[in-house]
């Protein structure tokens, strides 16, 4: 049994030297074996292509299209290999059954309209400034700082990034933990990757990820507080059961980091 070469061609790979070299090598192998190209090379297209866009070795062949449905393309490829009695493991029948079901229309995915229910959260305004802080702590401790703070923050290299001001940050940290303001920048300049001279350089993509991360932290805290308030209200109405830890009953306070003095 002579093998086959599956050549995957797309708008990007059709001009890549590596792909063209593989197809040329496959064509040379077919000629050396004395067989036609279409018996040895199986072209697969991942996007709509004209025949003129295909490498010349396979331009006359009918390529198997994996667009718009990869499932249909895969089924046709497997059917071709089965037709040519390409070797396969005898004990596995799942693939053959899938191909049969596909062409007979059984269990096929059907495209149809469906109702989508979603919601969105609009932002009226972003915080005006982003601040970078130096903390005289180890790298391992710095990684844990965002989890300790009640305000959104992220780590960037050896700096802590947040919207909060210096005095507010000092009020959240232990007195012995020294913190200094390294830089302060406008939110637009931060997101645009336009640091002032001497300020930390943050790529635009990283800056966007940092801001989205902090906004998500802020929203998560709002949700947790609302859940905590509702749980606390229900506890006040019903009263705690004997032997039950009130703090843990209030929506798993230990898991969400919500603290309060009494219930």
Q: Which of 21-35, 49-63, 234-248 has the lowest mean pLDDT?
A: 234-248
Could you tell me the strand order of the sheet in which 5-9 lies?
A: 5-9, 41-45, 64-65
Q: Is the pLDDT of residue 162 over 50?
A: yes
* pLDDT top residue among 18 and 181: 181
Q: How many CB atoms lie within 10 A of CB 100?
A: 14
Reference 27, options 9, 47, 43; nearest CA is 43
Helices marked H in 50-93: 70-83
Torsion angle in degrees (nearest 10) through CA of 219, 225, 231, 232: -170
Structure tokens given for 154: 């992220």
Structure confidence by residue, pLDDT tens digits, 105-155: 666 667 788 888 887 777 888 899 999 999 999 999 999 999 999 999 999
More confident residue, 75 or 171: 171
Which of the given ranges, 15-24, 117-126, 211-220, 238-247, has the highest pLDDT on average? Answer: 211-220
Q: Which residue has the higher pLDDT, 1 or 28?
A: 28
Evaluate whether 161 touches 130 at the Cβ level (below 8 Å). yes
- The count of other CB atoms within 10 Å of the CB of residue 252 is 14
Distance, CA of 204 to CA of 122 (rounded, Å) = 22
């Amino acid at each position: 049994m002579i093998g086959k070469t599956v050549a995957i061609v797309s708008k990007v790979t059709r001009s890549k030297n590596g792909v063209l070299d593989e197809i040329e090598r496959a064509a040379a192998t077919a000629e050396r074996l004395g067989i036609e190209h279409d018996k040895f090379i199986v072209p697969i297209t991942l996007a709509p292509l004209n025949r003129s866009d295909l490498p010349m070795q396979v331009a006359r062949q009918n390529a198997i299209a994996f667009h718009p449905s990869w499932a249909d393309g895969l089924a046709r490829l497997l059917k071709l290999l089965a037709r040519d009695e390409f070797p396969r493991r005898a004990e596995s029948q799942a693939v053959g059954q899938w191909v049969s079901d596909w062409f007979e229309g059984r269990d096929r995915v059907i495209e149809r309209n469906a109702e989508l229910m979603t919601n969105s959260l609009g932002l009226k305004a972003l915080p005006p400034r982003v601040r970078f802080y130096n903390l005289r702590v180890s790298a391992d401790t710095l990684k844990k700082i965002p989890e300790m703070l009640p305000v959104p923050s992220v780590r960037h290299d050896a700096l802590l990034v947040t919207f909060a001001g210096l005095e507010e940050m000092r009020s959240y940290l232990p007195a012995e933990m020294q913190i200094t303001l390294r830089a302060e920048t406008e939110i637009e300049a931060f997101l645009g990757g336009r640091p002032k001279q001497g300020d930390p350089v943050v790529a635009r993509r990283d800056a966007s990820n940092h801001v989205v991360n902090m906004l998500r932290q802020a929203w998560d805290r709002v949700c947790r507080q609302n859940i905590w308030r509702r749980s606390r209200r229900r506890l006040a109405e019903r009263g705690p059961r004997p032997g039950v830890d009130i703090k843990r009953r209030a929506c798993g306070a230990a898991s969400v980091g919500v603290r309060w003095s009494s219930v």
